[in-house]
Structure 1
Amino acid sequence: MTVEPSIDHRANPEPPPQTTATRETLEDYTLRFAPRSYRKWSTGVVAVSALGGIAYLADFAIGANIGISYGTTNALWGIAIFAVVIFATGLPVAYYAARYNIDLDLITRGSGFGYYGSVVTNVIFASFTFIFFALEGSIMAQGLELGLHIPLWLGYAVSTLVIFPLVIYGMKVLSTLQVWTTPLWLILMVLPFLYLVVSHPDSVSTFFDYRGENDEGTNVGSMLLAAGVCLSLIAQIAEQIDYLRFMPPKTPENSRRWWTAMLLAGPGWVIFGAIKQVIGLFLAVYLIANVAGGASVANEPVHQFLEIYQGFLPGWLAMALAVVLVVISQVKINVTNAYSGSLAWTNSYTRLTRHYPGRLVFLAFNLVIALVLMEANMFDFLNTILGFYANCGMAWIVVVAADIVFNKYLLKLSPKEPEFRRGMLYAVNPVGFVSMAAAAGVSILVFFGGLGDTIKPYSPLVAIGLAVVLPPILAVLTRGKYYLRRTDDGLDLPMFDEHGNPSGAVLTCHVCRQEYERPDMTACQTHDAVVCSLCLSTDKVADHVLPAAP
């Protein structure tokens, strides 16, 4: 049966009282397509907001750590490998997010995982957000201890609690915060590097000659181990996408701006991330070579910047700027970590329980986990945490990217337009789910030496290789059968406009009586009406879910 929807562009004359699920300006379209009516930001504002989220200082610590462990040459090659992999895998998923205005979880559902199958990837992503929240919070606490003599345990709590009120109102507040703080952050970050290059030119040669604490020579194994640590950041593309989903429709008039913003703020984030890692290593080598006791704090960004600032500024001003830089950086990234983590947890919980508690519940949950990690002093085992996580993150992101490139565009076994609505998808699609499980499982086994020490450094390549080849193989074996449970959503209304953008036509959900745009809606055969994706997600008895195709 096809439902002829009645399109009403007016507001409901007597809307019902708002529930947590319908306060969308507060909830920021947590579980659904981001409608055209809400996406009022320009391509430039979206791009700057997304790039503001990569202001984290963890890159400086990561660059310093891999350089100290493996030497400059191996670290630089590792960073280069990381950048190439991240850009290649991030491009297709960033394009889908910006083009179709959905987050990475919704993309994952229709790219080989199924409606419930993508829950596991949400948990992987949520883990990324609290790991890096804890890392950045630890860096901020170090800054507060150094500059204001606040005990570390209290600094951890302060760096966590200050984030909560900033994240409540989602994109509306985050975009403003990111745009206004980015110029100051750039100045404070670049100044020390420029000072060293100009006033201490010998620091450049010292940097390239540095062989690490174990006097490492150039070798492929060390390069790949360094790359593995860096590749723990692969899930950062999901945070970029949480901003990119608010891109305006792509039209012939804004095409160049749209592509530029998508490339820079999507996969292009890795360019800035790689530069920060190199700078972090550069500053660490300078401290080790020129500052008494520098080796003990060379991997701590607050000390890196403080020592350099003191070379050309009064001590009080150097301390103040170092603390300001740390605080700004931590706030800019951790509002994104907290925001994206709350989306991921809420998505998983709602699908499994069919109950929507509101994003703020899981915002608090994510922050508590991060605080526990900070109090456990995660800096002591940072490389192990990141190296292990990289295998899971790579398996997920590379499988989704491979499904888009190979299965959607080349083999055409996966539907080209993304699908995320309950009832339209199978519960689990073996193409993506099995591919990710195999890639992550085998690469983790390799990472911990389960297949011998010889191939232990190659766990990143194992994860990437399996994640690339398995999706097309499984898609061919299953003939693409498990992508769509049905192809017709029961609505006789185009899904896309003349430029291929999601339609802005408005329909009224008969369950919550709220208005949503066409891509968020399906027919409800039981009541001869239309229903929104969130009401479908919370339908405990499947009363509104369309039956499987005959």
Structure 2
Amino acid sequence: MTDQMTRAQAAGGREREALNETLEDYTLRFAPRSYRKWSTAVVATSALGGIAYLADFSIGANIGMAHGTGNALWGIALFATVIIATGIPLAVYAARYNLDLDLITRGSGFGYYGSVVTNLIFASFTFIFFATEGSIMAQGLQLGLSIPLPIGYLVSTLIVLPLVIYGMKALAKLQVWTTPLWLIMMVGPLVYLLVAHPDAVGDFFAFSGVDADGAPRGEGVSLAGIMLCAGVCLSLIAQIAEQIDYLRFMPPKTPDNTRRWWTAVLVAGPGWVVFGAIKQIVGLFLAVYLIGHIADGAGIANQPVHQFVVTYEEFMPPWAAMTLAVILVVISQIKINVTNAYSGSLAWTNSFTRVTKTYPGRLVFVVVNLGIALVLMESNMFSFLNELLNFYANCGIAWIVVVATDIVVNKWLLKISPTAPEFRRGMLYAVNPVGFVSVIVAAGTSIAVFFGAFGDGVAPYSPLVAAALAFVLPPILAIATGGRYYLRRTDDGIDLPMYDEHGNPSDVKLLCCVTGVEFERPDMLASASPAPDGSTQYISSLALACDKTGKHVLPPQPQR
């Protein structure tokens, strides 16, 4: 009994809450094989269900109305290319090693505490897009049910709370069961519109944008226009982190499921951008249709609920069109915002626990994230959405490109960065300048460019500046530092293989000396404090993250 009490006290009494798999969903750690029971198809469908958001329709409409169809299409193409190039290595690492993007980031040039800055970038992404989707839902509730926008914002926030509490198990069911209905309601009306109004296609390609009063802008295709469009779209680059929050639950890759495994990872990882780009194009197409067929259409053309109401009214009574449009908006908002709230809670909890060594519970930060999003909605962020997304894109691009570059260049090509990801406390340095400095310089410089520090003519190219610096700096800094700040230790003190014969994380279990619970091998380290009999005892990464005394942290190994 005394030994059990000592263990509970050493754990600070909070780690046990994180062991509640139903609620906490492996917030701070590797997703063990014992929990990953879903098929590749279920994981992929769940991940893709989260991209049902309608913000793409608004983004496509906004950039097209501001800069014309030509610039918008080229900007969307550039956006998709960057997403695919950076998303493949991140998705493969997450699915192969069953880690979220924060854990991958730690060992990809940032260090144990250095990745906190990227967690804040990701948390910002989740509440910005939660607020965007919540605003769209509130617009639907106002149009269909005459609910005032401020109340609609509150409803769209509270409706996801009970759904996001139970983590991956609940989210997988929600996404799988609602996706077929969502596809029918979204694709069907568009097909009808194309068949009934083939001339709309020509109007779409000839569209050159409109100003605030709905007057034609006549803007031609230009590099500046393309980059301004791409900058808004690239604010979505951090969406890969939300895809990874599902992909980390992929089953082990074996010779029997290799084809299915790769298909699921590529389609549900970087493949999300194909669906996102299509939605952006469709959003612009519907906006052009509204502008050409509805009086004062320019004032509502960027609002998805109006886009679908007008489309539905082509082949059904107004009351039915309104009903279906509101249902579509609500389903879409719930599908994406449960993911935004879920992923945001992981990001906030990870950062808070690492810095304070106290685990408050993931549900605390579900509420925090929703609260920030609600404030943004009540501030009418939808009215300055383009400017906000353009600004955010600089930070998101810097983070994602730095991590992808470290994996592809520093790990696979230069062999400076350790190939296998490392995330555990004591194994990593607090801060690795390779990634940390790169993201600060890339984001800071591109933001300065965005605000005109180098002239208004250069400002539209801030996303290019962020991407270029984030690609060039990590190899330079890795070579300059000799890679010495990647690993504080190479030996975790456990004489058992980390991976099985197929290269998957081992499912061998070891007992944690702090919590008294068994964890799988990749989640464990030897404790610096031996057992009373002098033998080696083991500690989980979860318990080690909350060890305020530091007595279990292994000492650094001498540099060679």
Whole-Å Cα distance in 2 between the matches of residues 227 and 242 of structure 1?
25
User: When the two structures are superposed, what TM-score results if normalisation uses the length of structure 2?
Assistant: 0.95
Distance in 1, matches of 2:99 and 2:15, equals: 23
The Cα of 1:293 is off from its aligned counterpart by: 1.9
Encode CA deviations 1:373-413: one digit per residue, 9 max, x unaligned: 00000111101100000000000000000000000000000
- 1:456, CA displacement in angstroms? 1.1
The alignment partner of 1:71 has SS state of helix
Residue 251 (structure 2) aligns with: 248
Find 2:544's aligned residue among 528, 536, 545. Answer: 536
Partner of 1:201: 198
Shift of 1:19: 3.0
Aligned position for 1:300: 303
Within-5 A mapping of 1:392-431:
392-431=395-434
Is 1:103 matched with 2:100? yes
Q: Secondary structure at the match of 2:32?
A: coil
Letter in 1 for 2:519: Y
The one-letter code sitting in structure 1 at the alignment partner of 2:37 is K
Write the deviation string for residues 109-135 of structure 1: whole angstroms up to 9, x where unpaired. 000000000000000000000000000
SS at match of 2:526: strand
Q: 1:279 aligns to what? A: 282
Match of 1:29 in 2: 26
Q: CA deviation at 1:221?
A: 0.4
2:184 pairs with 183, 187, 199, which one?
A: 187
Unaligned runs of 5+ in 1: 1-15
Quote the residue 2:508 is aligned against: 505
**Partner Cα separation in structure 2 for residue 294 and residue 466 of structure 1:** 41
Could you tell me how far 1:476 is from its partner in structure 2?
0.3
Alignment map for 1:71-150 (pairs within 5 Å): 71-150=68-147
Structure 2 CA distance for aligned equivalents of residues 45 and 21 of structure 1: 25
Partners of 1:165 and 1:501 lie apart in 2 by 34
Write out per-residue CA displacement over residues 201-245 of structure 1, whole angstroms, 9 at most, x where no aligned residue: 000000000000122111010000100000000000000000000
- 2:543 is aligned with what amino acid? C
Query: 2:362 matched to 1:362?
Result: no
Query: Which amino acid in 1 is paired with 2:139?
Result: Q
| Superposition deviation, residue 24 in structure 1 | 2.0
Q: Secondary structure at the match of 1:19?
A: helix
From 160, 165, 173, the equivalent of 1:163 is: 160
- Distance in structure 1 (CA, Å) of the matches to 2:417 and 2:449: 31
1:344 aligns to 2:347 (yes or no): yes
**Residue 314 (1) aligns with residue 314 (2):** no
> Match for 1:40: what amino acid?
K
Partners of 1:277 and 1:191 in 2: CA distance: 17
Q: Which string of whole-angstrom CA distances, capped at 9 and with x for unpartnered residues, describes residues 67-90 of structure 1?
A: 000000000000000000000001
Question: More displaced, 489-498 or 311-320?
Answer: 311-320
Q: Which residue identity does 1:336 align to in structure 2?
A: T
Q: Is the 8 A contact 2:71 2:221 kept in 1?
A: yes
* Equivalence map 1:391-540=2 (5 Å): 391-527=394-530, 528-540=536-548
Partner of 2:557: 549
1:454-505 Cα deviation digits (max 9, x unpaired):
2111111101100001000100000100000010000000000000000000
Contact 2:498–2:505 (CA under 8 A) maintained in structure 1: yes
What's the CA shift for 1:311?
1.1
Between the aligned partners of 1:380 and 1:316, the Cα distance in structure 2 is: 28
Counterparts of 2:218 and 2:430 in 1: how far apart (Å)? Answer: 52
Give distance in 2, aligned partners of 1:151 and 1:276: 28
C-alpha contact 2:16 2:515 (8 A) present in aligned 1: no
Q: Which amino acid aligns with 2:542?
A: L
- Give the CA RMSD over aligned residues: 1.0
Task: Report the Cα distance in structure 2 between the residues aligned to 1:505 and 1:22, rounded to whole angstroms.
Answer: 18
Q: What stretches of structure 2 of length at least 5 have no aligned partner?
A: 1-12, 211-216, 531-535
Q: CA deviation at 1:191?
A: 1.8
Q: State the distance in 2 between where 1:348 and 1:110 align.
A: 15
User: Using the alignment, how far apart are the partners of 2:43 and 2:78 within structure 1?
Assistant: 28
Contact kept, 8 Å, 2:18 with 2:26, in 1: the verdict is no
Within 2, Cα distance between the matches of 1:368 and 1:454?
Answer: 38
Compute the displacement of 1:17 (Å): 11
1:43-73 Cα deviation digits (max 9, x unpaired):
0000000000000000000000000000000
Q: Which amino acid aligns with 2:16?
A: T
- Inter-partner Cα distance in structure 1 for 2:506 and 2:195: 54
Q: What's the offset of the Cα at 1:18?
A: 8.6
Residue 197 of structure 1, CA deviation: 0.8
Q: Distance in 2 between matches of 1:292 and 1:188?
A: 25
TM score, norm. by length of structure 1: 0.96
2:98–2:247 Cα contact (<8 Å) kept: yes
Tell whether the 8 Å contact from 2:15 to 2:542 is kept in structure 1 after alignment. no
Q: SS of the residue aligned with 2:498? A: coil
Query: Which of 41, 46, 50 matches 1:44?
Result: 41
Partner of 1:230: 233
